[in-house]
């Protein structure tokens, strides 16, 4: 296992309703910082998806093995074209039906997506979360978020800002407090780069729901 450097910083914990908090988050992300925030499942920790040094910091702080890819959160369906190549028609149909929501699509990545995000692979997992504040954050940032759960690797995922502070106090500059997250099941992960498509992780969107989309079949 590699040695991970520790950073010491001043952590601010601000309520999601505080005026200017989203602007502060955007500024930190643009400057290569990390931000922790509520999502539609658990609290996440995110970096600007196109800044490799920020993503390195995310891996370091989480103590996340670098062979594990990081999914991207998008502001909207149209943002697929910012990070993905060779998008098949079925991807647009699935996105129109299930986004925002609990479905992650694995697609071919564009070159601007850093290798660290994909663990050097040719594909990337993307999702539009069912959380208006996070979508707004991505929109204001003008880029996707490379984001994963805001906990040390292998620890239980956090559902409160206090959980996040327990893990990352003094290591991230901003924790956005949105109250208790609903928790629940992680997103369904569907790989559209193979034929037939493969469910890599079961989740809230089941096979029967997916098959309602015309032309989608599974083994």
In order along its 219 residues, the chain shows pLDDT tens digits of 334 344 557 889 999 999 999 999 999 999 999 999 999 988 999 999 999 999 999 999 999 999 999 999 999 999 999 999 999 999 999 999 999 999 999 999 999 999 999 999 999 999 999 999 999 999 999 999 999 999 999 999 899 999 999 999 999 999 999 999 887 778 999 999 999 999 999 988 999 999 888 768 887
pLDDT of 94 reads 96
8 A C-beta contact, residue 157 and residue 42: yes
CA distances from 126 to 8, 38, 61, 139, 166 (A): 31, 18, 22, 15, 28
Rounded Cα gap, residues 119 and 124, in angstroms: 9
Side-chain half-sphere CA neighbours of 156 within 13 A: 7
Classify domain 12-211 by CATH number.
3.90.870.10
Q: What residue spans define the domains of the chain?
A: 12-211
Q: What is the pLDDT of residue 10?
A: 83
Residues contacting residue 7 through CB under 8 Å, at least 6 positions apart: 57, 60, 61, 171
* DSSP structural state of residue 2: P
Q: What is the pLDDT of residue 95?
A: 96
Is the pTM for the entire model greater than 0.85?
yes
Count other Cβ atoms within 10 Å, centred on residue 199: 15
Per-residue confidence (pLDDT) for residue 107, from 0 to 100: 98
């Amino acid at each position: 296992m590699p040695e991970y450097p520790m950073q010491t910083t001043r952590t601010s914990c601000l309520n999601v309703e505080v005026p200017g908090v989203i602007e502060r988050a955007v500024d930190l992300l643009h400057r290569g910082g990390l931000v922790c925030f509520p999502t539609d499942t658990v609290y996440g920790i995110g970096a600007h998806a196109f800044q490799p040094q920020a993503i390195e910091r995310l891996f370091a702080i989480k103590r996340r093995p670098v062979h594990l890819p990081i999914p991207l959160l998008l502001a909207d369906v149209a943002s697929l074209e910012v990070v993905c190549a060779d998008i098949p028609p079925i991807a647009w149909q699935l996105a129109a039906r299930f986004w925002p929501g609990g479905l992650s699509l694995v697609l071919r990545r564009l070159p601007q997506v850093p290798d660290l995000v994909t663990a050097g692979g040719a594909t990337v997992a993307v999702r539009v979360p069912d959380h208006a504040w996070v979508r707004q954050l991505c929109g204001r940032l003008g880029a996707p978020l490379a984001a994963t759960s805001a906990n040390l690797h292998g620890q239980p995922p956090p559902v409160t800002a206090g959980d996040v502070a327990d893990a990352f106090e003094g290591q991230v500059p901003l924790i956005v407090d949105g109250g208790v997250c609903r928790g629940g099941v992680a997103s369904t992960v569907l790989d559209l780069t193979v034929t037939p498509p493969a469910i890599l992780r079961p989740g809230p969107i089941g096979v029967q729901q997916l098959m309602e989309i015309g032309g989608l079949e599974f083994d």
